[in-house]
Amino acid sequence: MTERDIEVLRPTREVGIVGYGAYVPRYRLPASEVARVWTQGQGGLPIREKAVPGLDEDVITMSIEAARNALARAGVDAGRLRAVWVGSESHPYAVKPTSTVVAEAIGATPHIQAADWEFACKAGTEALQAAIGFVGSGMADYAMSIGMDTAQGRPGDALEYTAGAGGAAFILGPAEAALAVFEASYSFTTDTPDFWRRADEKYPAHGERFTGEPAYFQHITAAATTLMKALDASPEDFTYAVFHQPNLKFPQRVAKSLGFKPEQIEPGLLVPVIGNTYAGSALIGLTAILDAAQPGDRILLVSYGSGAGSDAFSMRVTDLLPERREQAPRTQDYIARRTEIDYATYARYRGKLVLK
Amino acid sequence: MEVSRHWRLKKERYAMVGEVCPHCEQKIFPPRDICPDCGQEARTLFRFSGRGEVYSYTTVYSAPTGHEVNAPYTVALVRLEEGPMVTAQLTDLGEKQVEIGMPVEMVTRRLRAEGESGILVYGYKFRPQLSAS
Ligand SMILES: [Zn+2]
């Protein structure tokens, strides 16, 4: 099969985003603090700073706030949701769904599907694909998909500079009520061991240089080009694009190689100021774009999850967006709400100090 | 506290669901099924906005069992927009000084963990209103 022959995903009825909400915790750890402790300040810094959750925050509490923001923008009663799906690699429980607590807290129980999704950094967009199917088939009118993480990096590991916290919630619904309507989507998946965490391990392991070319770049490039070919679209047809952001260099490089200009990815490129939010990364970038987009704008979203795969989505903004986005805090409002912490406070907040 | 009690309190704790008196419109939190104002039965559920202001506060340095990891923390009496007064922790203060009258809003946070293997307990706290923080 050549790439041109591949069928992309289109639901039976048109589906769109009817509400979206972001969340970023208040605390920030500058990359220079990590460098001060581990490298005497030597070497380059991959980002400026990363968002760190407070002592009383986790993927459940952060998802609840993003979900409430999405409901406020959707103007839909929570009782009309038929699914609450949360993608993350830092679910607070190993066994007991994050999604049941979130669904209960937002008032969506009990006539609802609830499940936690896992696929490294694309668990959230995987749930988004599923919600398009759920709504697009007519099984549900509204479904919520969340990508949220409180990422862990082993102290001193390169990942500690970037492993951040944050994410976003999306309510999908019929196109008539949508702020942005999906044109088509596509997923590209292979078995690629670039990054993993074994069942009882606290910190992940990664394949060093193996994480780039055969992993991130191959999957994102394949997903993006296949979707664009099927839509007969090229990079200049999109107002904005957002790619998974494990660091600053990767999304900049993949955007350039695909033919996107820096200004197309800039509004959604949040990794320098919040870090890599894993399952939340591409999705929270999309919220920042929706905060700025105008009716008619076309947006390309491409996630990447280690293991490995990419989900690609193309959507068009409708006339409903400008008014409805005012119903909840903007992503930049959360980014501006900022308290800098030092490495010692970070170590305490992230449970790296053991009291007994 | 037993798992069953946490389970019974979840709607009240997660989302500040209280009651409204069908006779005199008094908003009631926490729910007690009897209107404190007119003394009649009041079981109609009511979801509070979560907005209010700090009425008074104190900082806890020596925390009770189960809350040690959060110390020091600030506990406040919050006057809700709808009238009732609730006691709750303040969170996300950053470097912000707490003041009487400070506008706050409800957030759902992890209240405590029942040891290493028990349940995680979630419930309301208050933070400075996002627009004002
Ligand atoms: Zn009464």
The DSSP element (H or E) to which A346 belongs, if any, is: helix A343-349
Residue A40's pLDDT is 83
Is there a contact between A179 and A16 (Cβ–Cβ < 8 Å)?
Answer: yes
Q: What is the CATH number of the domain that holds B116?
A: 2.40.50.840
Instruction: Tell how far the Cα of B42 is from the centroid of ligand 1, in angstroms.
Output: 7
Residue A208's pLDDT is 67
Confidence of residue A315 (pLDDT cuts 50, 70, 90): very high
Measured CA to CA, the distance from residue A190 to residue B61 in angstroms comes to 52
Q: Which of A33, A65, A89, A160 is the catalytic position?
A: A89
For chain A, give every domain's residue range: 15-179+323-349, 184-320
Burial pattern A186-203, b for ≥16 Cβ within 10 A else e, equals: bbbbeebebbeeeeeeee
Residue A4's pLDDT is 53
Segment B71-99 shows an average pLDDT of 95
pTM for the full predicted model: 0.96
User: Which of these ranges, A11-25, A107-121, A307-321, B66-80, has the smallest mean pLDDT?
Assistant: B66-80
Tell me which chain B residues have a C-beta less than 8 angstroms from the C-beta of A58.
110, 120
Pairing of strands A195-196, A180-192: unpaired
Judge: B108–A64 Cβ closer than 8 Å, yes or no.
Answer: yes
Residue A209's pLDDT is 64
Residue A125's pLDDT is 98
Tokens of A211: 């994480």
Residue ranges making up the domain that contains B11: 3-132
Segment B62-78 shows an average pLDDT of 89
- B133, pLDDT greater than 50: no
Judge: B108–A65 Cβ closer than 8 Å, yes or no.
Answer: yes
Conformation bin of residue A232: beta by default, left when phi > 0, alpha when psi is -120 to 50 = left
Segment A164-189 shows an average pLDDT of 98
Tell me which chain B residues have a C-beta less than 8 angstroms from the C-beta of A106.
15
Segment A141-153 shows an average pLDDT of 95
| Lookup result for tokens 């963990």 | B113
Phi first, then psi: give them for residue B32, nearest 5 degrees.
Answer: -140, 5
Q: Report ipTM for this prediction.
A: 0.94
- A249, pLDDT greater than 80: yes
CATH, domain A15-179+323-349, list 3.40.47.10, 3.10.129.10, 3.30.800.10, 3.40.50.300: 3.40.47.10
Tokens of A130: 């599923």
Q: Which of A28, A56, A342 to substitute to test the interface with B, most B CBs within 10 Å? A: A56
B32-49: per-residue pLDDT in tens?
A: 999 999 999 999 999 999
Domain count, chain B: 1
Confidence of residue A219 (pLDDT cuts 50, 70, 90): very high
A64: contact with B, CB 8 A cutoff: yes
- A15-179+323-349 and A184-320 in the same fold: yes
Closest chain A residue by Cα to residue B119? A93
CATH topology of domain A184-320: Peroxisomal Thiolase; Chain A, domain 1 (3.40.47)
Residues above pLDDT 70, as percent of chain A? 97
Residue A5's pLDDT is 63
